[in-house]
Structure 1
Amino acid sequence: MRGAIVTGAGSGIGAAIASRLAREGYAVGVNDLTIDAAHATVDRIEADGGKALALVADVSDEAAVARMAQEMRDGLGSPELVVNNAGFGHQARFADISTEAFDKIFAVHVRGTFLVTRAFLPAMIEAGRGCVVNIASQLGQVGGVELAHYAAAKGAVIAMTKSLAREVSAQGVRVNAVAPGPIETPLVAALSEDWRRAKAAELPLRRFGQPYEVAGAVVFLASDDGALFVGQTLGPNSGDVML
């Protein structure tokens, strides 16, 4: 059975990705900050007949990621698919963003993506096959009012995706990103009602996406149908960014 790990998979987009991968036949390592959140997704997967393992770690903590990686290898084997989804939102005017808030955003989104990928990449290279999908955001492509630090971090994830893709594709490891627009998740629900209303009004589809619609993009990139996609950023974003 193929193995995959999805970070931040206790709810929202991560949970939808983990559940979809399990239905596609993957044994899924389900990471989250708390055991209860991870187990909530694991329980749903197992109720549907899938195989999953709860993995608790703060992805910005190097030692915690190392422990999680070993638990994944011991429980399900080394994954051939890594989905870096862990993240959180924080809304503030630029002048009001604290240094602590700025650093935390980058620690989770950028450092976390780096640490988790690095933990599993050597085994992929040794096997001559593997796939990394980083969950970015359309805000990393166009920016966002009151979300400068979040947008900057997601832009860094996109740049890291392209750089790593150039480095390891010839060794059999494909690296791509998915940059969703606003999706109906707890992260987006935490943003102000004014922001949500204004954003929905400017989207060509006039609606936010659903987590399962992002999961489909991840499955495609990981599949044989996505074999020619290298260093790309897919945009399930309701038309917010058109490339």
Structure 2
Amino acid sequence: MRLQDKTAIITGAGNGIGKEAAFTFGKEGANVVVADYNLEAAEKVVADMNEFGGNAIAVHVNVADQSSVQKMVEQTIQQFGRIDILVNNAGITSDAMLYKMTPEAWQKVVDVNLTGVFYCTQAVIPKMLEQSKGKIISTSSVSGVYGNVGQTNYAATKAGVIGMTKSWAKEYGGKGINVNAVVPGFIETDMVAKVPENVLDKMRSIIPLQRLGNPADIAKAYLYLASDDADYVNGTALHVDGGIMM
């Protein structure tokens, strides 16, 4: 029970990696705020968690809307009284080659993947400072480290997440707040399911572990960084990618 009695907000927790993280944190004793743009999906996750005794609430949030984020934080404090962990997991793609990428596609991804991380982190910092302790974990991507064809917007936001993570780690490390990022490789989620099978086969062939990752691989990384085991880990970008970019 590595997260016993701690309260965690997980954005984008209605499906995929965020959903798996909610289950993982709940089983480790955390109070979990299952935050998602799709409230119905979040409520389903909470119902499933209730079956194994998890303590969770579903909260609607649009991370690209500062007022919505603030409301999520207020609901969390009202329900649980504290915020120990924030997992900035919500993210979207809108892929296109540079010359075909519309301003709308660029801005939509920036608003969710980069500005959303900024809004959520800024909103929880006051409570964590008050407690003199907290864990902030944000999701980057190998695309943000090495780039990827057709992902100018996505790669830019995921690189930005690492830059913000390192900046915040320097700002708040001395205040008892650990700030880290997780850098997933190719993970078996709905997002990756849209990729043609022949492309997935090629991906598997270049990954030293010879498989795609699964949501549990990333959820376990979140758990480690959220736990007391990672109290001396700060400002890192933890790659969980099967070794694809060694």
After TM superposition, the score normalised by the length of structure 1 is: 0.96
Map of 2:105 onto structure 1: 101
1:1-243 to 2 correspondences below 5 Å: 1-242=5-246
What amino acid does structure 1 have at the position aligned with 2:177?
A: V
Aligned partners of 2:245 and 2:224: how far apart in 1? 20
Distance in 2 (alpha carbons) for counterparts of 1:51 and 1:171: 28
* Structure 1 portions without partners, runs of 5+: none
One-letter amino acid of the counterpart of residue 184, structure 1: E
Q: Kindly indicate whether the alpha-carbon contact (under 8 Å) linking 1:130 and 1:172 is maintained by their aligned counterparts in 2.
A: yes
Aligned length: 242
Q: Equivalent residue of 1:131, what SS?
A: strand
Q: Helix, strand or coil: the match of 1:235? A: strand
Unaligned runs of 5+ in 2: none
Whether the 8 Å CA contact 1:89–1:188 is kept in 2: the answer is no
4+ residue segments displaced more than 2 Å: 190-201
1:26-76 Cα shifts (integer Å, max 9, x gaps):
000001112111012111111111100001011001111111111111122
Q: Residues 237 and 116 of structure 1: is their aligned pair in 2 closer, same or farther, counting only changes over 3 Å? A: same
User: Within 1, Cα distance between the matches of 2:9 and 2:51?
Assistant: 19
Note the alpha carbon deviations across 1:63-108, whole angstroms, 9 max, x for none. Answer: 1111111111112222100000001122221211111111111100
Contact 1:66–1:119 (CA<8 Å) still a contact in 2?
yes
TM-score of the aligned structures, taking structure 2 as reference length: 0.95
